[in-house]
Structure 1
Amino acid sequence: MKVIAIMRPASYLTESARLASSMGFKVITAPMIDVVDKTDANFKGFVSRVMEGESDYVIFTSANGVEFTLLKLDSPEEFIGQLNKMHVVAIGPKTESALLKNGIRVSIVPESYSSEGLVEHLRGIEGMVIEIARSSHGAPELVSGLIEKGAVVHETQVYQIIMPRDERHTRLMEKALAGEIDIFAFTSSMMVRNFMALADEMGVKDEVIRIMNENTVAAIGKPTSDTLSGFGVRVKVMPENYTFEELLRECREHDC
Structure 2
Amino acid sequence: MSENGKVYLIGAGPGDPGLVTVRARELLESADVIVYDYLANNKLLEWTRPDAEKVYVGKSAGRHSIPQDEIEEILVERAQKGLQVVRLKGGDPFVFGRGGEEVRELEMDQIPYEIVPGVTAALASAAYAGIPLSHRDYSSSITFLTGHENPEKHELHIDFRNYAKGKGTLCVYMGIGQLPRIVAELKEGGMNGTTPVGIIEWATLNRQRSVFGTIDSILSDLEASGIGAPAMVIIGEVVGKRAKTEWFEGRPLFGKRIVVPRARQQAGELTRMLEENGAEVIELPFIEIVPAFDAKLVSEIFAGIAVYEWIIFTSANGVRQFFELFYKAYEDIRCLGPMRVAAVGAATAREIEKHRIKVDLIPKKANADALAEELIEQEGLEGIQVLVVTGNLNREGLVNTLETEGRAIVDTLPLYATRKAKLAEDPVATDIRKRGADLVLFTSSSTVRSYVEQSKYLQAEPGASKAAYASIGPQTSKTLKENGLDIAFEASESSLDHYVKDTISFFKQTTDPKQH
Task: Report the TM-score, using the length of structure 2 for normalisation.
Answer: 0.38
Partner of 2:285: 31
Task: Return the offset for 1:36.
Answer: 1.9
The yes-or-no answer on 1:147 pairing with 2:400 is no
Partner of 1:129: 385
Partner of 2:329: 75
Partner of 1:196: 452
Whole-Å separation in 2 of the counterparts to 1:127 and 1:162: 36
Larger helix percent: 1
Which is further off, 87-96 or 41-50?
Answer: 41-50
Partner of 1:253: 501
Alpha-carbon displacement from aligned partner over 1:175-220 (angstroms, at most 9, x marks no partner): 88xxx5434233684x555333313x6699xxxxxx99x841236x
Alignment of 1:146-225 (within 5 A): 146-149=402-405, 150-164=407-421, 165=423, 166-169=426-429, 172=432, 180-186=437-443, 189=446, 191-199=447-455, 215-218=469-472, 225=475
Partner of 2:209: none
Q: 1:188 to 1:56 in 2, by over 3 A?
A: farther
The yes-or-no answer on 1:19 pairing with 2:19 is no
Whole-Å separation in 1 of the counterparts to 2:330 and 2:445: 29
- Amino acid across the alignment from 1:86: M
User: Which of 346, 362, 378 does residue 93 from structure 1 map onto?
Assistant: 346
| Conservation of the 8 A alpha-carbon contact between 1:30 and 1:172 | no
SS of alignment partner, residue 411 of structure 2: strand
Task: Return the offset for 1:58.
Answer: 0.5
Aligned-pair Cα RMSD in Å: 3.9
Q: 1:158 to 1:171 in 2, by over 3 A?
A: same
- Amino acid across the alignment from 2:428: R
Partner of 1:207: none
User: Which of 48, 67, 76 does residue 303 from structure 2 map onto?
Assistant: 48
Whole-Å separation in 2 of the counterparts to 1:230 and 1:173: 21
Alpha-carbon displacement from aligned partner over 1:101-140 (angstroms, at most 9, x marks no partner): 2132322121222112101211211232211112222544
Q: Which has the higher contact order (CA 8 A, sep 6+)?
A: 1
User: Which of 373, 378, 387 does residue 120 from structure 1 map onto?
Assistant: 373
| Conservation of the 8 A alpha-carbon contact between 1:70 and 1:76 | no
Partner of 2:310: 57
Whole-Å separation in 2 of the counterparts to 1:237 and 1:141: 29
Q: 1:6 to 1:85 in 2, by over 3 A?
A: same
Gap runs ≥5 in structure 2: 1-252, 460-465, 507-516
Q: Percent identity?
A: 22
Q: 1:105 to 1:168 in 2, by over 3 A?
A: closer
Task: Report the TM-score, using the length of structure 1 for normalisation.
Answer: 0.70
Between structure 1 and structure 2, the one with the greater Rg is 2
- Amino acid across the alignment from 1:7: P
| Conservation of the 8 A alpha-carbon contact between 2:343 and 2:361 | yes
Q: 1:45 to 1:186 in 2, by over 3 A?
A: farther
| Conservation of the 8 A alpha-carbon contact between 2:369 and 2:398 | yes
Gap runs ≥5 in structure 1: 205-210, 241-245
Q: 1:56 to 1:195 in 2, by over 3 A?
A: same
SS of alignment partner, residue 304 of structure 2: helix
Whole-Å separation in 1 of the counterparts to 2:433 and 2:498: 24
Q: 1:158 to 1:251 in 2, by over 3 A?
A: same
Which is further off, 59-68 or 163-172?
Answer: 163-172
Partner of 1:243: none
Alpha-carbon displacement from aligned partner over 1:207-240 (angstroms, at most 9, x marks no partner): xxxx99x841236xx9xx5797499368934966
- Amino acid across the alignment from 2:289: V
SS of alignment partner, residue 111 of structure 1: coil
| Conservation of the 8 A alpha-carbon contact between 1:84 and 1:105 | no
SS of alignment partner, residue 120 of structure 1: helix
- Amino acid across the alignment from 1:250: H
Whole-Å separation in 2 of the counterparts to 1:64 and 1:192: 22
Q: 1:60 to 1:112 in 2, by over 3 A?
A: same
Whole-Å separation in 1 of the counterparts to 2:335 and 2:293: 20
Whole-Å separation in 1 of the counterparts to 2:331 and 2:362: 23
SS of alignment partner, residue 453 of structure 2: helix
